Amino acid sequence: MIDTQPPAFIFIAGAILLPFLRERRLRRVFQLLIPVIAFIDLLYMPEGTYWIYNFLGYDLILGKVDKLSMCFGYVFVIMAFLGMVYALHVRDTGQHVAAFLYMGSTLGVTFAGDIFTLFVFWEIMAISSVFLIWYQRDMAALAAGFRYIMVHIFGGCSLLAGIIIYVSNTGSTHFGFIEYGGLASQLMLLGFIINAAVPPFHAWLSDAYPEATVTGSVFLTAFTTKSAVYVLLRAFPGVELLVWLGAIMAIYGVVYAVLENDIRRLLAYHIISQVGYMVCGVGLGTEMAMNGTTAHAFSHILYKALLFMGVGAVIQVTGRRKLTELQGRNLYKQMPICLSLYMIGAFSISAVPLFNGFVSKTMVVAAAGELHRPIIHLLLHLASIGTFLHTGLKLPYGTWFGRVPEGEKVEEIEASEPPLNMLVAMGMAAFLCIFTGIYPKILYNILPYPVHYHPYTTSNVVAMMQLLLLTAGAFWLYIDKLGGEATISVDTDWFYRKPGMLFLWFVSHPLQNLRVGLQHLLSRTVANVASLSKNPILLPEIAIRYIHLRIINRFYHIFGLAEDKVEELKELESRYDAIRKITYDKDVYRRPIGLGVLLAIVLLFLYGLVYFFTSR
């Protein structure tokens, strides 16, 4: 028996060791080795609850292993390997470290058996992932990253508030099924659905993912939303609210995808749409729906990564990311392999038979049918149409083929197939998409419940083909209207972006002016008082002398004052002016106090530390 370790720690150890590997070839081998080790580790992990550590009277459980967490664990580790292959050419070690931390913390969430462990990994996940956005190193990425992290911190706070209320109400820190109802569960649910990008809390996803680095966005698509789906499956199955949120979410993403011009943002809206199926499946809560959700998360991670790899390759070689800049340039001639592999992903997400979307998505839809939910069933069906329309038809047509609008000049763009490692990663993802599509048993065997669903019935296949082919027919009619438009679409991020700008203006203009005025007034007073108080005993004497001279000066104005008295008065006046002119210099007045305070804090801290260790 091999001694297994928490898979989260394997990745985090990888993140710590990676910067020490200077030799590039060695580093690459190491990057690929970590997911492989983690996968072997998963294979040897027995079912059960273990890796329990006592901390401050609470049990931290790092290993809650059952079929549900295992299924997510497998796909996360597979995805880690694929993403690492895709990112192998990237020389920024920092990006790889962020990716490893991100993947490790996701696995930590997946196998967390108590809510404290869950929360800690949840936060590491948010903080490490934002670096995959910031490494793009431009202003748009920086701003989008800040918006991303602020939304996630808000979600994390909501989750923490819910956890605290939950623990103080029930006394249990065990992470499992949570009865929905009451503030604690609502706050926790809010934290979860923010990470699952459920509208109206979804805008962080479509805002930030397209700004990330080409390789970073591939990692981002896989982990945050799917780990949120996992915790929802674990804690809130059968919550009716999620059924409707999920179905609306599936349509919502589709509507915005019609309007989108940025190719990665279009795909980001389809993540929202696809996660809608999963959230809906969680809400339906039957064994079949839960199986469908798990299977769809598994499939989704693979095909969505493949799609992001495909468009990422286009962005990598052309430097362009908008349909309006790509259509009509006939890139298919220069990158046919990339296009073919992308299309495998597109067929998978569209649930074309023989691809993995078909064996998982139809299960969720069928679960809605089995529960006789007509509106949900139709909404999910409608979203399927939109999925094929955009990722299967509009995006590849606009990116690799397309027509230039009349009157616009077409310049030649240099393009070629992307680096080999990118193609290899895409090839492996494509293989897995087709393999699980043709042989769904391998996926069904690892689902949490026994599967009694058969996707490949003739009527099922025929119905899906009708749906997709006639969607393509309608696309043909509208082909010219569906080209990119050089616009952006306002989404719910409007509610924090526009008022945010107003707030910034308020802070930087009226509030700042008020501060400057107040500081000026107060600092001058302080400076005057400080100067006068240097010799307080002499102060009354000088004041009396000064007033005395002024009075004499008044009286004897006509006759004139003695020479020496005039001199003295002038000198006193100039001294008075000098005092008035002193301005506040923060360095003179702050430093001695600042140093003292700092020393006091340091000593207090050391004292506290000593007290803490000696009192046990």
Partner 1 sequence: MVKALKYIFLICAGVSILLGLFFRPEHPHFWWEKIPAFDAIFGFLGCILIVVGSKALGHHWLQKDEDYYSD
What does the alpha-carbon distance between residue 394 and residue 444 come to, in Å, rounded to a whole number? 32
Per DSSP, the residues of 181-240 read -SHHHHHHHHHHHHHTT-TTS-HHHHHHGGGS-HHHHHHHHHHHHHHHHHHHHHH-TT-H
Residue keyed to tokens 């149409």 = 385
When binding is defined by CB under 8 A, the residue of 488, 514, 578, 600 that contacts partner 1 is 488
Measured from the CB atom, is 10 or 352 closer to partner 1?
A: 352
When binding is defined by CB under 8 A, the residue of 153, 404, 420, 465 that contacts partner 1 is 465
Bridge partners for 61 per DSSP: 52
State which H helix or E strand residue 64 sits in: strand 58-65
What does the alpha-carbon distance between residue 302 and residue 265 come to, in Å, rounded to a whole number? 18
What does the alpha-carbon distance between residue 255 and residue 376 come to, in Å, rounded to a whole number? 17
Q: Residue 364 CB, nearest distance to partner 1 (Å)?
A: 14
Alpha-helical regions (H) of 388-419: 395-400
When binding is defined by CB under 8 A, the residue of 439, 478, 556, 576 that contacts partner 1 is 478
**345: three-class secondary structure by DSSP:** helix
Residue 142 binds partner 1, judged by CB under 8 A: no
614's CB contacts (< 8 A; 6+ apart) are none
CA triplet 359, 365, 366: central angle to 5 degrees?
80
When binding is defined by CB under 8 A, the residue of 33, 337, 490, 522 that contacts partner 1 is 490
Per-residue binding string, partner 1, 240-279, x by CB under 8 A, is --------------xxx-xx--------------------
Q: Kindly indicate which of the ranges 28-36, 335-343, 373-381, 578-586 contains the residues binding partner 1, using the contact rule CB under 8 A.
A: 373-381
Q: Residue 319 CB, nearest distance to partner 1 (Å)?
A: 17
**52: three-class secondary structure by DSSP:** strand
Residue 238 binds partner 1, judged by CB under 8 A: no
Torsion, CA 102, CA 41, CA 159, CA 136, rounded to 10 = 10
Measured from the CB atom, is 235 or 393 closer to partner 1?
A: 393
When binding is defined by CB under 8 A, the residue of 468, 527, 549, 569 that contacts partner 1 is 468
Q: Could you count the other beta carbons within 10 Å of the beta carbon of residue 34?
A: 25
Residue 149 binds partner 1, judged by CB under 8 A: no
Measured from the CB atom, is 108 or 455 closer to partner 1?
A: 455
Contact present, 84 and 99 (Cβ < 8 Å): yes
> Among 178, 174, 210, 206, which Cα is nearest to 192's?
178
State which H helix or E strand residue 578 sits in: helix 563-581
Residue 489 binds partner 1, judged by CB under 8 A: yes
Residue 614 binds partner 1, judged by CB under 8 A: no
Residue 409 binds partner 1, judged by CB under 8 A: no
Q: Kindly indicate which of the ranges 218-226, 289-297, 440-448, 471-479 contains the residues binding partner 1, using the contact rule CB under 8 A.
A: 471-479
Residue 502 binds partner 1, judged by CB under 8 A: no
Q: Kindly indicate which of the ranges 414-422, 486-494, 552-560, 563-571 contains the residues binding partner 1, using the contact rule CB under 8 A.
A: 486-494
Residue 381 binds partner 1, judged by CB under 8 A: yes
Q: Residue 423 CB, nearest distance to partner 1 (Å)?
A: 26
List the structure tokens of 352. Answer: 């074309």
Bridge partners for 50 per DSSP: 63
For partner 1, the binding residues (CB under 8 A) are 254-256, 258-259, 369-370, 372, 374, 377, 381-382, 385-386, 389, 457-460, 462-478, 481-482, 485-491, 497-498, 501
